Every structure is written in structure tokens, then in C-alpha cells.
Structure 1
């Protein structure tokens, strides 16, 4: 019998704007007075803002980094825009909308008229900075100082991206100060903090690690720009090297009680209920997304023990599809057991592995103290631990990889290249956006092939997204002009 292929448009496959858990249901451009205090709204803000991070932002980066491909054996037409790199104002425009909408509640918490919630406000400052960094990384100049003012300013001006980055550091310093010097009347944070459960010491570590990431994003520019180099030197001189020592997770009580309460990653991939035989029921969104041939080759040739945790394997190896090809092996690998656990599994906002690799880069560049080799190896260990790789397999891989140029620290001529490679593997299918941004910043990993049939004025991936149609329609007087060609040639200020 001839195999029937399902023709499902990409927009129907992703369904990323639907069914957000604890949807705030607030228009980000309509600020209203409310007597709902920060204790009652923090969990909603945290859960809503995580959804675009693990869904659309993750997908954009994972496809651009050539880690995902479509199941061409069962579907047609998938990822045609991504593979053709047909940039437009509609390309992934929902990232803009969902991130601005979800961060609106953080602004409301920060502006709540009472000093009795300084710890809640500090958390909101940290999380708002986390997501606004990504908005700058994706778009460059954005509404920032006038964002979320609603009817008081329905047409917010666009702030300079470098100025925003500088202020994010100020906001994080302010958050740390609010934690350390809150008045005695400050309400304690508890279970409403669905990320860290009110552990304010870890919130300080997270803020410091986020500062580290913001500063390092500018390190490549500092190599040729004296003003940036001076700024980074001054900031690193006062940076508290008190960084995260655990994965920063989120779990507001994910469960299989109903679709809207599942972990948002799992909710995309699995049906809520098991089959009559007790097996998982896969959604088309899971069946469609497969490993790419590029990532399969990288994981297999280095004998990376994480490959069987990140993807399903055949005879111990990942099987991938070439991006842009209409044909593929019959058994293309799907997401593996390290990523697909259960409906109630934790979400990951920042991995310990990422934090350690940030420290390895900063130590290598001389910005902070520490042994970059130890930090590098510890990051790989943390990644293996998170994915469920055995201690023996992790140790063997760390020893072996350090003898491979471009992948292990010891043998690599360019240490930054090795750090970026390991970061891309640690974040694979967890935070693909971060990998793409780091690729854009550093130019590594430089062996990532373009999809078959891709059209690009530079022969490379785009450096940014274009401003969405919603902004062109509603804020036309302020939105900067970015042409298709400019999305490939103009990057945020740190490039």
C-alpha cells in the first residue's frame, strides 16, 4: 500500500499560541489599576512567560542551529519558511506578542504601590530582565522605558538596544539590593514562586548569572571596541562571582489533570491520556519534529552519551534528516527520554551547564577567576546529570572529548569554539534560541550547513528577526524600518 503523507501547514503544526497554562488574559497595552497584590500574581507571570521560551523561541533556535528537521516520511511542507530563510514581518512574529504580553505582569508587580513586597518585586525585575534581554537579542531596538504603559502611552518609543542592555544590569543590581535590604515588613516569598520556592539566595545567584550572560554577550564586540572593553572591565570588577549551582527550573504543579496543566513542552508532544494499552499517545507535533542529519552526525561521531537521551536511537546512533531534503531514512530519530519524561516534569529556565560554560568563557577571557578547564568539564557533567547519563559514561566522554579540537577544551586551538559547541549540545531542544544567539555573536559553530535550497543574501543565517506586522500596524510612527536584507546584515549592537 502506498504510504499516505499528511499535508499539514506549519502554522497548524506548531499551535504555539494556544492553551497557555494560567493565561494572564491581560492586554499588555492596557495597564489598569488593580488591587491584586504581587503574591497572587507571581506564579501566573512566571508560568506564562516560560511558554514562549520553551516553545516558539526554542523551535526557532533549534531549526536555525540545524538540530531539528521535519519528518518528511509522513508530512510535507514543514519548515519551508525556515529552510528557505524567507524572512518577513510575519516570520515568528508571535514571539514578540507573547513575550511582551507575558512580561506585562512583571511590570505590574514591580510597580505595585507597596514596599511590603520587595522580594516579589525583585523576582519580577530579574525575570523581566531575563526576557527583555532576549527581545533585544532577537530584534535590536525595542520599546523598553515606555513599554507596558498602556493607555498612558499606547505608542511607545523604541529605546537603543545598547542602552537597554546597560539598564538591565542596573535593574539586576537593584533586584539584588532589594533582596538584601528589604524592610522588615516585606512579605516572605513562598510557594507562589513556582521557580525557586522563595529561595532568595538562589535568586541572587540567578541574577548574578544573568548579569554574567548579559556582559559576555558583549565580549566579542569588546575585542575591537575600546569603549565596550572599558565598560566590561568596570562591570566585571564589581561582579559578585556568586553564580547558580543548580538548574533553574519551573513547575507550578504541572500534571495530567487537563491539557492546560501539562508541562508546556510535553503538552505539545503528547496527548493527555494514555492509550488503552497504557502507552503514550503522540501528537502530530511530536511525530513531525525529528533530529537533523547534522546533529546526528555531531553526536554520533563524538560518541556523545547524551545522544540516546536527547533523541531516540537505532543501533546506538541518532538518525537524522537533511534539512530541506524531501527524502530521509525510514527511522528518523525523535526526541528522547531525557527530554520526554512525564506530563508533570520540570521546565528549565536556565541550566547549570549554561551557567558553568558562561563562567568558563569569562575565566578564559580573564574577566573572572577560576580554572576554565574545570568549569568546562563541570558543565558537561551537569548536562549529563540533567539528561540522565550514567556517571561512568559521562566521565568517559569528558576524558575523550578533551582530545578533540573544537569540541573539547584541552585540545581546542580556539577555546571559545569548544565552549560554544558544548553549549549548543547542552541546550539542544531545551533552549535553542540561546544557542542561535551565541552562534550569531561568536560565529561558532561554523560547520553548521545551510538547508538545501536556502536563499540568503549573505549565504548565512539571519542575524535578527524583522519587526512584526502588529507593530507596523499599531505603532508605525515609532517602529524602525528593517528590510529583508538588513535582517541578514544588521545585528544587535553586541555583534
Structure 2
């Protein structure tokens, strides 16, 4: 198994995460990045960015997608920003701040001067592309080409979102080339907390991220308003034909354990106290939403008892913005909490990309005519993979057969557009357990389906959810001369937004 010594991991993580700041008074007795070979830095670099994916990104995605609500029987909820859309420059700022800073550790590996670490460099390029795609999707233009230069440039210029996307794709291609054409490269082993040094898996992951980059642009390409993107997407899909995509989950586990709270899986860590038995305020605050519960119950989805606890055989949810009955609302007295397929234990794997997501990306690409294959087969396989991931005890075949007759939820019926809607629906179910549900929010925004997701019953300050987030206050404080005008984030998305 791909385990490393946990204390060594967090020792590296502690000092590597401070890199590229103005720490100029370094002791000559302390190790610096110039002393650290990529194999020693890799696990910490992989891990330092991830906790934010399964916490801030996961929480916002589930709330914006109306998958979760608040336990209004135990918490006084007025009208939080996730419901009212009253966002500001401090709203979920960690989605920017954490990856923008911690990916400097990946840049250090990519720019290493130590020879024969091409495999490690390739892994760092793939991981960096993973995080920077999220930043472009959620903010638009970002610092990129001048980022992570440390004291050489503490106020990096912003790059255009499209140009960053183009370079991310090129970096993924370069990563594959390094893996394929570096005969003297040192082997990667247990220091790789994702695939344990299986470079074939890293090529699959790179190809799948290339597919995700392209799929994010297909609506713009098909709109006919950006001929450059139309040509670019078509050409890249021709080159991508025949590639091998992820055929298993891409999970991160550097040796999560309950030795200390900071060595536990980050999602588990935020849900349970140090004794791994007492639930935290986060666990008690978030429950299934009524919309989510109704979808899971009405289709007899075999994943419902793994995603949430069942009450009388069903998921019981709360309307976003509702009150408890005693306060004039309609919320049931007992609501479904997170289920055993979501919270497994302190050492559970963390998901960067699930096999189900890979299959659904392929299904949409086939459906739209960009890749060859059977979209129905890929769609069905994705549901099966999701059930396997969550540990369902009921075989998914019956559910797959019945759901395919429901337009917008199954692929076997409905219009062209409803089949895309079905892919998105299943992506939301598959990713809402242990993956990054912010990815689903981005996908719904990209396809124009985001406004089909009902909002809170409370008054909102805007007519719809934002298409992007506002640049955080930290940028206006430290890099104000370079922060571009962002426009109306409720009306326009990143460069690929076509609606």
C-alpha cells in the first residue's frame, strides 16, 4: 500500500507550506527548498493543497447545489450568504488562498535543479493543473506565469483565463511526455500519496484532466461565438482520441491515521472530535436537503443509505431556509445526517477524482460526438462505480434499468439536452459523497443548468447564484495594482461561460 511515515510527512508539510513568503531570516542550520530533493517533498506537496478541496470547496458545492441544508431544529439559521447570495470578498476566501499558496510546493518540484526527477516533475505538473483549473473556473483571470516567484516577484501579474487553460493543457501533455521519454528518471515509490508511483495511472489522470479541460469549453465552442476555441477544442479532441482515461479512483492517502487530529483524513477531521466518536458542530449543522432527499427517495437510489442516514427507510431532508416547526416552519424533527459511505473513519481515502467522474466525462464527450464509444455504457458504468465507491449492498442493475426511463435522470430516454442533464444529475449524486462537489457546481454553471437547481425559500439579494467568486480581500491587500476588474460575477462566468 502507498503509505509513508506520517510524522515525516507532516514535518515536511509544516515547513514547505511556508515557502515563497518573505521569510528572509532563515537559520543556516535549517533545510531550505534548495536542499530538498523532489522525492522528499512530493507527499507534502500533494497533501498541502487538498484539505481545502474536501472542506471549503465541498461545503460550498453542496450548499450551492442544494444537496445540504441546515439542522434548523438545533441551530438558529437566519439567511446565510450561501442562501442569500450576499457574497463579498471574504466569502469562501480559502478557495483562492489555500491552493494559490500551497501549490508553490508543486512549483518548487517542477523547477527543481536536481537531475533525473522527471517522474516527480510530471506528477507535480498534473497536480498543479488540477488545482489551477479550479482557480480559473471559480475566478477567471488569475496570477499564473509569475506566481510562486517568492521575493523575486511578490506582486504577480494576472494572466487571462483562456491563456492559463491553454497552458494547463500543455503542461499535462508535457507531463505525459516526461513519463514516456525519460529513461534515466528515478522511480517513484511510496512518496507518491496518490498512486504509489504507478506512472501509468498518472498518465491516465493527466488524460482525464485534459478531457475535463476540453469539456469545460465545449459549450463555448458549440455556441459559435469564439472561433478560436471551436477550432482548438476540435483539434485537441482529434489528438485525444484513443487515449486511456482513469479506470479507477484517484485517491489521496499519505497515511491518514488517528495518531493526532492533524493526521486524520481532513473531511473526517472536521466532522469528529479527537476521540473519533463525538461529532463536531459541522456534523450536527449540515443535514440532507429536502430536494436531495426527494430525488434519492423517489428513484429508490441504492446510494441513499450510504450518503445519508435513513429514517424509516428514507432520507429525510430540510428545505434550505426553512424553520423548525416550533418556530413556524415545516422541518421534520429528525433529519438525515451523513451516512456510512461518506464518513468511514479517520484513515479513509480522500478523493481527487473518482472513477465515476471519469466515466461521466467520457459519456458526455461521446454523447456530443467528440469521442467514440457508447455513452449509455459509460453512463451505466459510472453509476456502478459510484455504488461501488460508496459501498452499497444492493446491486445497481435494477436502479440503472429504472432510471434510464426517466428523462433528465437516466440516459435511456429524453431529448439530446435531457441526456446531458441526466449526466449532470448523476455527476451530482456521484460526487456529493466524498469528492469535490464544487466541481458539480462548475459543471452546472457551464451547461446552463445551474438555475434549474432551486434556491433557498428565504429572500435572496440576487436573482441567481454567482457564476464566479469575487477575488479575496488578500489580493486587494497585497497585490491591488494587478487585480483586474472582475465585472458582474452574477452575470458572467469564466472565459468558457456561454449563457
- TM-score, length-normalised on structure 2? 0.91
Corresponding residue SS for 1:69: strand
CA distance 1:61–1:21, shift in 2 (3 Å): farther
Q: Which runs of 5+ in 2 are unaligned?
A: 1-9, 24-31, 325-330
Kindly indicate whether residue 475 of structure 2 is the aligned counterpart of residue 465 of structure 1. Answer: no
After superposition, where does 1:414-433 map in structure 2 within 5 Å?
A: 414-429=418-433, 430-433=435-438
* 1:200 is the counterpart of 2:199: yes
Give, in angstroms, the shift of residue 33 of structure 1.
5.1
C-alpha change, 1:357 and 1:479, in structure 2 (3 Å) is same
Q: Which residue of 2 aligns with 1:3?
A: none
- Equivalence for 2:386: 383
Give the SS at the match of 2:352: strand
Distance 1:78 1:344 in 2: 35
Q: Which residue of 2 aligns with 1:349?
A: 352
Aligned equivalent of 2:210: 211
- Inter-CA distance 323–494: structure 2 relative to 1 (3 Å threshold): same
Counterparts of 1:347 and 1:461 in 2: how far apart (Å)? Answer: 28
Residue 294 (structure 1) aligns with: 291
Find out whether 1:315 has 2:317 as its counterpart: no
Cα distance change, pair 433–371 in 1 and its aligned pair in 2 (3 A): same
Q: Structure 1 33/344 Cα, relative in aligned 2: closer, same or farther at 3 Å?
A: closer
The answer as to 2:240 corresponding to 1:231 is no
Contact 2:39 2:188 survives alignment (8 Å): yes
Contact 2:407 2:419 in 1 (8 A): no
Distance (whole Å) between structure 2 residues aligned to residue 273 and residue 207 of structure 1: 38
Identify the residue that residue 16 of structure 1 maps to in structure 2. none
Q: CA separation of 1:283/1:78 partners in 2, compared to 1, >3 Å: closer, same or farther?
A: farther
Give runs of ≥4 in structure 1 deviating > 6 Å.
Answer: none
Give a deviation string over 1:281-320, Cα, whole Å, max 9, x none.
1111111111111111111111111111000111111111
Superposed counterparts of 1:56-455, under 5 Å: 56-77=56-77, 80-184=80-184, 186-225=185-224, 226-239=227-240, 240-273=242-275, 280-327=277-324, 328-390=331-393, 392=395, 394-413=396-415, 414-429=418-433, 430-444=435-449, 446-455=451-460
Residue-by-residue CA offset, 1:377-415 (whole Å, 9 max, x unaligned): 0000000010011353x1110011001010000112221
> CA offsets, 1:189-247, max 9 Å, x none?
00000110000000000000000000000011111133322111100111152001100
- CA deviation after TM superposition for structure 1 residue 30, in Å: 4.8
Displacement of 1:258: 0.9
Q: Distance in 2 between matches of 1:380 and 1:148?
A: 40
Q: CA deviation at 1:178?
A: 0.3
Q: Deviations over 1:234-277 (max 9, x none)?
A: 00111152001100001111111110110001001112325xxx
Aligned to 2:53: 53
RMSD (Å) for aligned C-alpha atoms: 1.7
**Does the 8 Å contact 2:130/2:209 carry over to 1?**
yes
The answer for the alignment partner of 2:38 in structure 1 is 38
Q: Return closer, same or farther for 1:139/1:454 CA change in 2, 3 Å cut-off.
A: farther
Q: Distance in 1 between matches of 2:268 and 2:13?
A: 16
In 2, Cα distance between the equivalents of 1:409 and 1:82? Answer: 31
Shift of 1:50: 1.1
Cα distance in 1 between the residues matched to 2:440 and 2:111: 33
Structure 1 counterpart SS, 2:223: coil
Q: Which runs of 5+ in 1 are unaligned?
A: 1-18, 275-279
124-133 or 436-445: bigger deviation: 436-445
Alpha-carbon contact 2:46-2:193 (below 8 Å) kept:
yes
